[in-house]
Amino acid sequence: MSSLTHDATVRPAQPGTLRSALKRRSPGLAFEKKLWDQGVDVVVGVDEVGRGAWAGPLTVGALVVPRERRIYKIRDSKMLTEPERELMYRRIVDWAEAWSVGHASHQECDELGMSDAQRLAARRAIDGLGLPAEKVLVDGNWDFVGGATRIVRGDAISLSIAAASIVAKVTRDRIMRRWAEDHPFWNFADNKGYPCPHHRTALQGYGPSAIHRRSWVFMDSLIWTGLPRHHRPDPNQPELPF
């Protein structure tokens, strides 16, 4: 099992500049307030990052917003530049009632498949909060937590989910920048493990690195290095007796 499981502390971010465009409509607390009014004390926003990447971990952020204190300029992490996310990350972790980040490593993505890896990362993130998650809000139309409220475009609507998306994105980006030092050919510092022309070219020339997800279909046509290809067993096929 990888030691990359969950984070509740990472190094401080450097200051950045937030654009005036971020003054547009921001995510709010309508979903959270409705649950609070129903007597739910701990409402957790959850979002994931890295599902579409070819390398590195799948990361899930979980966050509980405080009822009495507000923070401004939180947006869906995809709307922010990298310096803006870093700035907001520092503000968010100081402001949140509780927060945590859970990971499923690239090996676990290969071994479990993406859906189960996402469930694993989500469970690690929620368990890392140190609070009982009475209700969970997830972004999108798939409940990868179990018993959660699904909110389409939740990272643009729910403050809890938007804050979780920033924490997850910044944490994973830092991991990929750090690993880029050990795996320089694939340009992870810039692409963070996602497909792009440089990444595709490096894969064709060098094959996969040690942190690539080696069970994925896109690997079928690649030149292979000494790393073994990972194939998940087909649950519908019986195992051979030899």
Residues 110 and 214 in one domain: no
Residue 107 lies in a domain: yes
Mean pLDDT confidence for 128-144 = 96
Q: Tell me how many domains the chain contains.
A: 2
Contacts 24+ apart (CB under 8 A), 64-69: 64/96, 64/97, 64/98, 64/99, 64/129, 64/131, 64/160, 65/29, 65/32, 65/95, 65/96, 65/97, 65/159, 65/160, 65/163, 66/95, 66/96, 66/97, 67/36, 69/95
- For position 12, what pLDDT does the model report? 39
pLDDT tens profile 192-230: 999 999 998 998 888 889 999 988 776 776 666 656 666
Residues 144 and 103 in one domain: yes
In the β-sheet with 6-7, what is the strand arrangement from edge to edge?
6-7, 98-104, 58-64, 43-49, 135-139, 149-151
State the pLDDT confidence band at 191, using cuts at 50, 70 and 90: very high
Phi, psi of 229 (to 5 degrees): -75, 140
Residues 90 and 148 in one domain: yes
Give the structural domain span for 198: 184-221
Instruction: Evaluate if residue 1 carries a pLDDT over 60.
Output: no
pLDDT tens profile 73-109: 788 788 888 998 999 899 999 999 999 999 999 999 9
Residues 215 and 135 in one domain: no
Among 45-54, 212-221, 227-236, top mean pLDDT goes to 45-54
Instruction: Evaluate if residue 38 carries a pLDDT over 70.
Output: yes
Residue 238 lies in a domain: no
